Each structure stands twice: as C-alpha cells, then as structure tokens.
Amino acid sequence: MGLFQGLSLLLGLLLNLVFHCNGGTTSVFVRNVEKAIDMPLDSDVFAVPSGYNAPQQVHITQGDLVGKAVIVSWVTEDEPGSNTVRYWRESSKRKKLAKGKIVTYRFFNYTSGFIHHATIRNLEYDTKYYYEVGLENTTRKFWFTTPPEIGPDVPYTFGLIGDLGQSYDSNMTLSHYELNARKGQTVLFVGDLSYADNYPNHDNVRWDTWGRFAERSVAYQPWIWTVGNHEIDFAPEIGETKPFKPFSHRYRTPYKASQSTSPFWYSIKRASAHIIVLASYSAYGKYTPQYKWLEQELPKVNRTETPWLIVLMHSPWYNSYNYHYMEGETMRVMYEPWFVKYKVDVVYAGHVHAYERSERVSNVAYNIVNGICTPIKDESAPVYITIGDGGNLEGLATNMTEPQPAYSAFREASFGHAIFDIKNRTHAHYSWHRNQDGENVEGDSLWFFNRFWHPFDDSSAHVSH
C-alpha cells in the first residue's frame, strides 16, 4: 500500500467516524413548553346533532381484507333506534340496507349511549357511495369512496395522524389535514385517540366528545385504528380492570379477515399497500398470539400485488426524545429482524408528542455477549417515523437526547400531520406538515424508493426551514 492509498484509507475512516458520531438535523424551530388545552365541552366541534336520538360520532373503517367492505359505527343517546345503514352508489337511486349490532357499556359511573356497528359488504371498487343512518327527520347522510382494486401501480394517498386528543391544537391538526392539497384518502391513525383517561375517573364523556370532534373526517374516509396506551383505560382503583374497554366497544377493526384473533393486531390491503397494525400493549413475546400471527403474516405479503409494506404501532422503536425513551425496545428486539428480512418500507408510530424521521437503520446483531449494539445503516431496513404530534392536552415533547443520534435523520418538536402519497410500485412521496405553517408547506419530506422494487438509497431529504 502506497502512502497516498494509506492516507486515503485513514481519511475514509475519519470521515466514517464523523458520520457515525453525528446525527441528522434537529430543526431550528423551538417551541415553548406549554400544555395544550382541551376544548371546553360546549365547543362547536363537540355539538350534538339536533333532533331526538340523532346519530352522532359517526365513523368508518375498512371492513375486510381488500377494501370492498366498510364498518359504519355511530351512537344514539336516547334509545337504541334503528340499527340499519342505508347506502347507495352515487350513480344509483336504489338504496341497499346493512344491519348491524348494538352494544353498550358502563365505566365506573358512566353509562354509554347505544353504540351501533354495521358492516357494508360487496362494495364496488373505486366508487363513491352515500350512506345514511337514523330515522325520519333525524336521518344523517354521509359519503365515502371505496379504494381502487388492489394492484402494484395503483396510486393512493394516506394521511398520518397520531396522539390526537381534543385540544385546540388537535383541532388545528385535523383542519390542516383536511385542507392539505395532497388530499389524504384514508387516515392511518397510530394510537391515542381521546385522552379521556386524563380526566377524573377516565370521564368517558370525553370519549363521546372526541367521537363528535373527529366525525367531520372519519365519517367520510376510513381511519385505520392502532391502539395506544390511552386506549388501555385500566383503572382498578374504580373497579375498571378490563383493558381497552371503552375503545373496544366504540371502535371496530376487521381483524378476522387477516386471521388475527384480536382486534388490536391485524392487516389490511388497500390499493398498492399492505398495512400491518401491531399492538404495543398486548403480549408480543415468542409463543404469544401476536407473535404467531405476525410470523405467519409477513410471508403472506405479496410485493408484486401490494409493493408497499407499511407497519403501524404506537410505541416507537427509534426515538431520540427524552420521552418514552426505549419504551419500544423490547418489541424492537422481538420483531426487528423480521422487518429487515421482509424489507418493510416504513414504520409509523406515535406516543412521543413530536416529530421524528429516522435513517434506514437496523440493530439486529446483538446477542448479549458480542457487544454489537449500535444501529447501523441498512438499506433493507424501514424508515421509522414518529408522528405522535397530533396535539393532545399533554403538550409537546421538546426535550431531546443530545447529541442527536446517527439514526435520527430529522426531528422537530411541533404539532402536525403527514401524508404518504404512493405514486406507483417504485415511488412514494412523503411529507410532514407542521401546524404553524400553511397546510401545504412541507416541514420535512422524502421520496421513498420501494424496498422490494427499487432497493436503493432514498433521495436525500428536502428539509424546509
């Protein structure tokens, strides 16, 4: 080796060291640590629809594996009322009927209204449907559009919202999402809905207000539900020992369609995406139902049919804030080798009330005695995105691990939402939108190259300051 080559090697090693010691960008936007404030009960966004027993808290989610069914849910307060959904194609006058079930529950001193769930099946792809619930003069009408038939190059746009709550900031996040010109067609919600459990006795009235608040979006496009810690509602001090009780009664998921045995972990296919929802607060160790399900689910993903493999969970694996630091670590240890093996494109999580995007990294070599425990760049690994910045009453996470770890590409403590805009089998445009800017301003963005069809480096992030 000549002197020049030796120097080059040394320089290369030094550059490498510099790279590994420095993380990505910590945004220059610095927010005051202020608690977000919940909107009062008499806010217009919580208004009860007029009329006796009028349906309220209307929401829809995907009702099958492939997007040809929709679960419609709503609440009536005075009496059970009709449990039938009437629906029809935009181009047709003939109304069809779908009948559902009614459930109620008690939580300490709270008694729920009559919660209706009805599944509409055998819908046509890529079609606008109207639907109505309620009776006579309190009938309420909504609409949704079914996704196109599943296929590798079908464009589709997902919104990403997490940890939403019902503060003034939550309202701003939802409005920004609704006004975003990229037009999200389905929301991938990464957990923590109402934050009712922050109220005395988990005041479930705040589950009702959240249902009325979110209706303006979720009655018209499906939200795909992930459960967070605020859905656990475990309160033995008031005799409430059954986890997930309010959430389970109010929100449904199509888990049986993907052979899951629990509503908290399941998968759906939609357009060109295969979406796997995992449960951070259900057992995930070896031999558990969730582990066994995921072990069977991943080999089923057909990337020639659905090239985009997206995973949703609540507690992030790669998080460099000093909030919930390492809470996702045990699940990471269990499942990360699979995510690398099956080339998951992106993992969305919430929980930390801020925004962060990782490099493509993995950390799967550690075996207790070998000491190899640093995340490394890995083109087969997903990008990890924390999008728990919906704006709930607990306020922003502003305190970060310093220096920024090498796995962290971009982080900023602002409320906002994101859009994952799939163009075809190889490309998807991702953008994050902070609430302080106009809804179309991209605070962070990245072109995703599909890991299966285009397994090379993503374009470097374009960051706006």
Site for Fe ion, rule CB under 5 A:
192, 228-229, 351
Enumerate the active-site residues.
Answer: 324
- Please return the burial class of 312, using the count of CB atoms within 10 Å of its CB with bins 0-12, 13-18 and 19+: buried
The CB-of-392 to Fe ion minimum distance in angstroms stands at 9
The CB-of-52 to Fe ion minimum distance in angstroms stands at 38
**How far is Cα 352 from Cα 201, in angstroms, rounded to an integer?**
24
The CB-of-192 to Fe ion minimum distance in angstroms stands at 4
**How far is Cα 354 from Cα 320, in angstroms, rounded to an integer?**
10
Q: Toward Fe ion, which CB reaches closer, 351 or 451?
A: 351
Helix (H) or strand (E) holding 57: strand 56-62
Positive or negative, the Cα torsion across 127, 344, 400, 432?
Answer: negative
The CB-of-94 to Fe ion minimum distance in angstroms stands at 45
Q: Toward Fe ion, which CB reaches closer, 150 or 164?
A: 164
Cα angle, residue 200 at apex, residues 196 and 205 outer, rounded to 5°: 45
Q: Toward Fe ion, which CB reaches closer, 228 or 263?
A: 228
Cα angle, residue 413 at apex, residues 408 and 416 outer, rounded to 5°: 105
Q: Which residue number places its CB atom closest to Fe ion?
A: 351
Q: Toward Fe ion, which CB reaches closer, 57 or 315?
A: 315
Helix (H) or strand (E) holding 25: strand 25-26
The 10 Å Cβ neighbour count of residue 394 is: 17
Q: Toward Fe ion, which CB reaches closer, 307 or 388?
A: 388
The CB-of-348 to Fe ion minimum distance in angstroms stands at 13
First vs last C-alpha separation in the chain: 45
Cα angle, residue 407 at apex, residues 301 and 340 outer, rounded to 5°: 20
Helix (H) or strand (E) holding 225: strand 223-225
Beta-bridged to residue 224, according to DSSP, are 188
Q: Toward Fe ion, which CB reaches closer, 192 or 215?
A: 192
The CB-of-401 to Fe ion minimum distance in angstroms stands at 18
The CB-of-316 to Fe ion minimum distance in angstroms stands at 10
Q: Toward Fe ion, which CB reaches closer, 248 or 258?
A: 248
If you ran DSSP here, which 8-state letter would residue 27 be given? Answer: P
Kindly write down the DSSP assignment for every residue of 264-323, as one continuous string: TSEEEEETTEEEEE--TTS--STTSHHHHHHHHHGGG--TTT--EEEEE-SS-SS--BSS
